[in-house]
């Protein structure tokens, strides 16, 4: 699993960008070479069709710092793999004859950030066909077959923080860029000089039972079509699950179903647990890599798990054990993964009880906000989108996108009070979003509305005017 060269990780990421961006261009009917470099972005210069992914910072991952070192010999810390988080900046470059081409550069940049969003976990199995032919392995050969997997998470920098990154280059305008954290990378430790003690009790465990496997994660999506369609309210079964935060609703649109096999371990109490993960919890003051759904701590979640199926009802808060203390984790809209962790207990011939812990594959699903209604316009000409208030809509860590009639509105802290300037803007408030429409709300019409928070969309929604 460890590596001796960080460039193997960078090379893997550049291969991912090159292969997938070329494949996305091909989907658009464009056959174009894409170059991916790793130099400092200011040195990329006037390149054409070029993406630049530069490693600008490395930080030790303290969560692995206290692992016991294997064997004996030398300083103990040298026998532990050095766990690192790598920080990258992504830029796009496209100039022809020293003429800046914003359209093609931003298209290239869009495909690059989509690539890192769609493939946020890299392992040995990830393969992509860049040209419509046979898929090519993304992970480079020195890392393959060693149980390596890398998680890619976007760094939510504000515009002001991004400007400070470029402040050393005072003669240059801040370049369009995105920032990412890649974790966890292990640097090869020193080999132990010897082993500890003698083995007096050998437990050999042979079991015909395989590891737990999740095959499907689903949820119900309920929505009311526009009146003009003549259709009644609709309920669809979505897989992967597209749940929404609306506890107590009928049908249960906040209920996530799991289907799989061997999900109950040895059948004893506590032998099987549902585990949730989301990048938002990584950014907490005490980072949380995963949260176990404990029935005793979360009775409202209605957690059930059998050998082949499970379910849980999403709530606005989850009680989880963090460093041995029950802690409330806010459940906000976004992309999550679910897995099942099982325990089997067996006894050796010498009477020693051994536990074997296995975890299933992780499957991603989305948790969206639940839209209730659109009201207005008010005397200022603005309208209000009301959502079920289970989370802090004004939190700085939320990436909120609002679209009405296919037009994307801009998130601002406050309106100017001048209608001509406020058109196309929205302001987040507690449990709702106030927006100044680009259309005339006095005209009769049906308007599709989309609300996407941290990559997760609400249920399909339309509203009528006037």
Segment 156-185 shows an average pLDDT of: 75
pLDDT digits (tens, 9 = 90+) for 103-140: 888 999 999 999 999 999 999 999 999 988 899 999 99
Cis before 101? omega within 30: no
* CA-angle at 391, arms to 283 and 313, nearest 5°: 95
Q: What pTM was estimated for this model as a whole?
A: 0.57
> Sign of dihedral through CA atoms 366, 369, 371, 375?
negative
pLDDT digits (tens, 9 = 90+) for 324-375: 899 999 999 999 999 999 998 877 666 777 788 899 999 999 999 999 999 9
Burial, 406: exposed, middle or buried (Cβ in 10 Å; 0-12, 13-18, 19+)?
exposed
Q: Is the pLDDT of residue 65 over 60?
A: yes
206 touches 246 (CB < 8 A): no
What is the Cα–Cα distance from 6 to 29, expressed in whole angstroms? 35
DSSP 19-55: HHHHHHHHHTT-----EEE-S-GGGS-S-SSEEEEEE
What is the Cα–Cα distance from 121 to 335, expressed in whole angstroms? 13
Share above pLDDT 90 across residues of the chain, in percent, rounded to a whole number: 61
Closest CA to 53 of 65, 41, 70: 41
Segment 260-271 shows an average pLDDT of: 85
DSSP 13-26: HHHHHHHHHHHHHH
Segment 59-78 shows an average pLDDT of: 63
Closest CA to 305 of 345, 354, 338, 346: 338
DSSP letter for 202, please.
-
Segment 293-303 shows an average pLDDT of: 95
pLDDT of residue 425: 97
Q: Is the pLDDT of residue 401 over 90?
A: yes
Band of pLDDT at residue 67, cut at 50, 70 and 90: low
Tokens of 247: 């506890």
Q: Which domains does the chain have, with CATH numbers?
A: 7-187 (no CATH), 213-368 (2.70.50), 370-465 (2.60.40)
Worst-scoring range by mean pLDDT, 142-151, 158-167, 250-259, 293-302? 158-167
Segment 446-458 shows an average pLDDT of: 96
The rounded mean pLDDT for the chain is 88
What is the Cα–Cα distance from 325 to 454, expressed in whole angstroms? 28
How many CB atoms are located within 10 Å of the residue 286 CB?
9
Beta bridge partners of 448: 462
pLDDT digits (tens, 9 = 90+) for 224-249: 999 999 999 999 999 999 999 999 99
* CA-angle at 148, arms to 212 and 285, nearest 5°: 85
pLDDT of residue 202: 54
Cis before 317? omega within 30: no
Tokens of 371: 């839209």
What is the Cα–Cα distance from 163 to 175, expressed in whole angstroms? 9
Q: Is the pLDDT of residue 211 over 80?
A: yes
């Amino acid at each position: 699993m460890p590596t001796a060269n960080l460039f193997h990780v960078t090379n893997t990421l550049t291969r991912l960008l090159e292969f997938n961006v070329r494949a996305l261009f091909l989907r658009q009917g464009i056959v174009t070479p894409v170059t991916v470099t790793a130099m400092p972005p200011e040195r990329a210069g006037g390149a054409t069709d070029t993406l630049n992914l530069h490693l600008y910072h490395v930080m030790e991952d303290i969560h692995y710092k206290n692992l016991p070192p294997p064997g004996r010999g030398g300083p103990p810390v040298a026998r532990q793999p050095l766990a690192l988080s790598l920080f990258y900046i992504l830029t796009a470059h496209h100039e022809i004859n020293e003429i800046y081409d914003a359209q093609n550069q931003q298209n290239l940049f869009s495909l690059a950030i989509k690539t890192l969003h769609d493939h946020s976990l890299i392992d040995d199995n990830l393969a992509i066909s860049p040209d419509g032919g046979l898929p090519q392995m993304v992970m480079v050969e020195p890392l393959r077959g060693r149980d390596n997997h890398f998680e890619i998470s976007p760094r939510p920098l504000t515009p002001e923080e991004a400007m400070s990154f470029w402040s050393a280059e005072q003669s240059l305008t801040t370049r369009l860029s995105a920032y990412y954290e890649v974790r966890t990378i292990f640097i090869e430790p020193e080999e132990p000089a010897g082993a500890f003690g003698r083995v007096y009790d050998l437990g050999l465990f042979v079991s015909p039972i395989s590891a737990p496997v999740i095959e499907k994660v689903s949820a119900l999506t309920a929505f009311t079509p526009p009146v003009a369609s003549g259709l009644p309210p609709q309920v669809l079964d979505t897989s992967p699950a597209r749940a929404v935060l609306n506890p107590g609703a009928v049908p249960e649109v906040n209920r996530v179903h799991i289907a799989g096999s061997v999900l109950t371990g040895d059948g004893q109490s506590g032998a099987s647990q549902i585990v949730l993960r989301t990048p938002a919890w990584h950014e907490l003051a005490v980072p949380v890599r995963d949260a176990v759904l404990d029935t005793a701590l979360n009775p409202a979640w209605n957690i059930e798990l059998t050998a082949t199926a499970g379910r849980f009802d999403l709530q606005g808060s989850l009680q989880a054990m963090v460093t041995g203390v029950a802690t409330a984790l806010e459940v906000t809209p976004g992309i999550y993964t679910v897995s099942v962790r099982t325990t089997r207990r067996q006894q050796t011939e010498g009477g020693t009880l051994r536990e074997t812990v296995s975890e299933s594959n992780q499957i991603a699903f989305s948790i969206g906000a639940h839209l209730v209604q659109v009201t207005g316009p008010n005397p200022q000409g603005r309208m209000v989108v009301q959502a079920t208030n289970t989370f802090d809509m004004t939190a700085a860590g939320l990436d909120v996108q609002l679209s009405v009639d296919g037009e994307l509105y801009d998130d601002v802290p406050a309106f100017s009070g001048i209608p001509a300037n406020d058109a196309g803007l929205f302001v987040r408030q507690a449990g709702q979003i106030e927006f100044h429409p680009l259309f005339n709300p006095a005209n009769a019409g049906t308007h599709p509305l989309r609300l996407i928070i941290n990559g997760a969309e609400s249920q399909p929604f339309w509203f009528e005017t006037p």
